[in-house]
Structure formats: structure tokens, C-alpha cells
Amino acid sequence: MLTEKEIADKVMVREHLARISLTSEMSVQDTEAYKEEIKSLLKANDACLVAHYYTDPVIQALAEETGGCVADSLEMARFGKHHEASTLVVAGVRFMGETSKILSPEKTILMPTLEATCSLDIGCPEQEFSAFCDQHPDRQVVVYANTSAAVKARADWVVTSSCALEIVEHLMDQGQKIIWGPDKHLGRYIERETGADMLMWNGSCIVHEEFKAKGLTDLKAVYPDAAILVHPESPEAMVDLADVVGSTSQLIKAAQTMPNDTFIVATDKGIFYKMQQAAPGKQLIEAPTRGNGATCRSCALCPWMAMNSLERLAAVLRNKDQEIHVDDALREKALIPLNRMLDFTASLRR
């Protein structure tokens, strides 16, 4: 028997999901029919669904129900590499599919759509970035996972937001100076936290850049007891107001473990699905994206993550037409800094 509080929590989660679900226009019958079809196609294709926290909650739930995973970009890479399925269906953005292919060349890597990219990847073309690196041969090249296979191939290290601090600290301990690309906000945050000598590429995430510190201050006045959780791709003024700055998985952990009942969350709102599961009964509020006179291009919703729909997921499992390929020579080069990151983070866990 559920207690009254448990029932109230479940109602709150359902209402919340209804608000943020992108498939809300689809009828319940159609949603269920797609889910059943996808489940049987996954089995028939010996495929496993690996989804990012920013995808539609319906897709996240499907990944959970079918033995796949819902995770941050680091964990998605690790999970896919070790899973026994011959096909991985990566629901996320293109760099996540490419990372899976680099780590698991023997597997077929499908994505609901190959069009799902990332403003950081777009804003860091390999030739320009390489030329920038060539001007500073004395520096270690550290690139964010949100980049193409070609940019990774030019790097000494790949990092995600959940391990960037530790890896830069490690390089500092070795007396290294750093070239950082492409996210300038994350880079500046790491630079400030560690004091490392970092030359920045000028890239940014169009979703996190929309968060407005003025609006956040106003919202905090309405919820004075709320803790503020901020992804480090956000502007500095947002980070300055944060109680916790961290990767998607670190923010979920914070909502789960901090004593506060209310959280204001500055990252893509797809995260509320897992965050609410981890912190049932707690109130989760979206950080504001519209400041005075500002326009809102993303409204805390990554347009490329949102391309991962049930229809596309079913279609790719039927047609196998959205497959990731990475050139062999490039793959071998990109594998080196990726494995460095995986080995380093594995050593931190021991």
C-alpha cells in the first residue's frame, strides 16, 4: 500500500512529466504503440538503447525499461563500450554516437537522427582548431567531449564536465599549460577553480547561455530556501549564484543528497525526469532563461536533443539508415585521448 505522501509524489512527478514531455502531442495510444514496437525491434536487432538525460522522458523511460541506460555523456560512453549488444542506439547528439563508435568499432551505432548536433561541435571546426593548437605546441590540448571525432583526434585529452576539474588539476600537477576547447564558460570555470594556465577557444552552448542571472536572483527571492544547481556551461554570473556547479549526474546527485526541499536548476529541462526520480517529493524549478529585454532561443531545451523522437527511434530500428561511421585512421587517433579520460576516471573510482 502506498502512503499518502508516496501517492502525492507520484502525482507530482506525473504532472511534471506532462509539462516537460515533448511527445505530449502524441496520443497515449500512439505513444504506447511506438513503445511496444521499439521494444520488439530492440530485441530483434540485438540492440541496446543508450540515452542522455536531456532526451524526452519517454525515451529515457524506454531505455530504463529495456535494460539500456540513461546517463551523462561520460557514463553513456562507458556503458556502451562494455555492453554486450551488437548494436547501440544512441539517443543524444552526434558526438555521443561518434564517441560510441570510436570506443566500440565492432558495434553498429545507430542514432534516431544524424542531424542532431551541438553548438559546441559546430563552433569548433577541426582545421581552425588545429591551426590554433599548432600556434602553441608547448601546451597540452584538452577538448570537451562535445566535439567531432576529428577534433578529438587532434587532442591530448578528452574530458566531460564530470571529470574536467580533476583532469586539469592532474595536468597542472605535471606543470602543463593547456589549450582548452571549445566551451569558454566551462573553461573559465575550470580555470577559476584550478588556477591553471589555459588558452580558450571561443565556443559556447546555445542552451546554457540563455540562463539569466538577473532572473535567477529574482526567483531566489521568491524561494529563499531553494538551492541553486548550475551546469558549468552557463555564464559566469549564473555560476556565481550557484550552490552547486556540476555535470548533469553531479546535479542529480546534489538534488538527491542536499537537505533542501526546493531546487532551482539551470540546465536542459529533460534532466527533471531522472532528478525527480532521485529526489521524490522535492520541488524542482527551471532557472529562468529570459532576462530583461532578452530573447529566448532555447528556453532550457536543447533543440538537437529534442530531435530524438519516438517516431525517429522506431524508424531507425526499422531502416538502419542513420548509422554512425568514423574513418579508421581518425578513429585510432581519437581513441587515444578518449581512453586516457576513461582510464583516468576509472583510477579515481578505485
Cα–Cα distance, 152 to 82 (Å, whole number):
21
For residue 49, give the nearest of 81, 89, 104 by alpha carbon: 89
- By the 10 Å C-beta count (0-12 exposed, 13-18 middle, 19+ buried), 29 is classed as exposed
Q: Which of 56, 209, 233, 286 binds ligand 13P (CB under 6 A)?
A: 233
Binding partner of residue 206 among ligand SF4, ligand 13P, none, CB under 5 to 8 Å per kind?
A: ligand SF4
Q: In what order do the strands lie in the sheet with 157-159?
A: 157-159, 140-144, 178-181, 198-200
Cα–Cα distance, 338 to 98 (Å, whole number):
11
Nearer to ligand 13P, 62 or 252 (CB): 252
Q: Specify the stretch interacting with ligand 13P by CB under 6 A; choose among 11-19, 35-43, 158-166, 170-178.
A: 158-166
Cβ at position 74, least distance to ligand 13P in Å: 6
Binders in 71-90 for ligand 13P, by CB under 6 A: 72-73
Q: Which of 17, 111, 207, 284 binds ligand SF4 (CB under 6 A)?
A: 207
Nearer to ligand 13P, 33 or 306 (CB): 306
Q: Is 148 in the site for ligand 13P (CB under 6 A)?
A: no
Binding partner of residue 161 among ligand SF4, ligand 13P, none, CB under 5 to 8 Å per kind?
A: ligand 13P
Binders in 134-163 for ligand SF4, by CB under 6 A: 146
Cα–Cα–Cα angle for 41, 14, 227, rounded to 5 degrees: 115
Cβ at position 212, least distance to ligand SF4 in Å: 16
Nearer to ligand 13P, 109 or 302 (CB): 302
Name the DSSP letter for residue 226: P
What is the size of the binding site for ligand 13P (CB under 6 A)?
10
What is the size of the binding site for ligand SF4 (CB under 6 A)?
13
Residue 91 CA: distances (Å) to CA of 27, 69, 94, 307:
22, 10, 9, 9
User: Grid coordinates representing 292?
Assistant: 530583461
Q: Which of 140, 148, 248, 298 binds ligand 13P (CB under 6 A)?
A: 248
**DSSP secondary structure string for all residues of 169-202:** HHHHHTT--EEEESBHHHHHHHHHHH---EEEP-
Nearer to ligand SF4, 85 or 251 (CB): 251
Q: Which of 113, 119, 160, 194 binds ligand SF4 (CB under 6 A)?
A: 119
Q: Which of 20, 205, 227, 254 binds ligand SF4 (CB under 6 A)?
A: 205
Q: Specify the stretch interacting with ligand SF4 by CB under 6 A; choose among 124-132, 245-253, 301-309, 313-321.
A: 301-309
Binders in 75-94 for ligand SF4, by CB under 6 A: 93
Assign residue 134 a region (left: φ > 0; alpha: ψ between -120 and 50; beta: otherwise). alpha
User: Grid coordinates representing 177?
Assistant: 599549460
The site string for ligand 13P over 200-229 (x = CB under 6 A, - otherwise) reads -----x------------------------
User: Grid coordinates representing 240?
Assistant: 556565481
Helix (H, G, I), strand (E, B) or coil at 160: coil
> Are the C-beta atoms of 155 and 143 separated by less than 8 Å?
yes
Q: Is 120 in the site for ligand SF4 (CB under 6 A)?
A: yes
For residue 78, give the nearest of 47, 43, 106, 50 by alpha carbon: 50
What is the β-pairing status of strands 244-245 and 227-230? parallel
On the question of a cis peptide bond just before residue 232, with omega within 30 degrees of 0, the verdict is: no
Q: Is 160 in the site for ligand 13P (CB under 6 A)?
A: yes
Q: Which of 109, 230, 251, 305 binds ligand SF4 (CB under 6 A)?
A: 305
Instruction: Tell me which residues touch ligand 13P (CB under 6 A).
Output: 72-73, 146, 160-162, 205, 233, 247-248
Instruction: Tell me which residues touch ligand SF4 (CB under 6 A).
Output: 93, 118-120, 146, 205-207, 233, 268, 302, 304-305
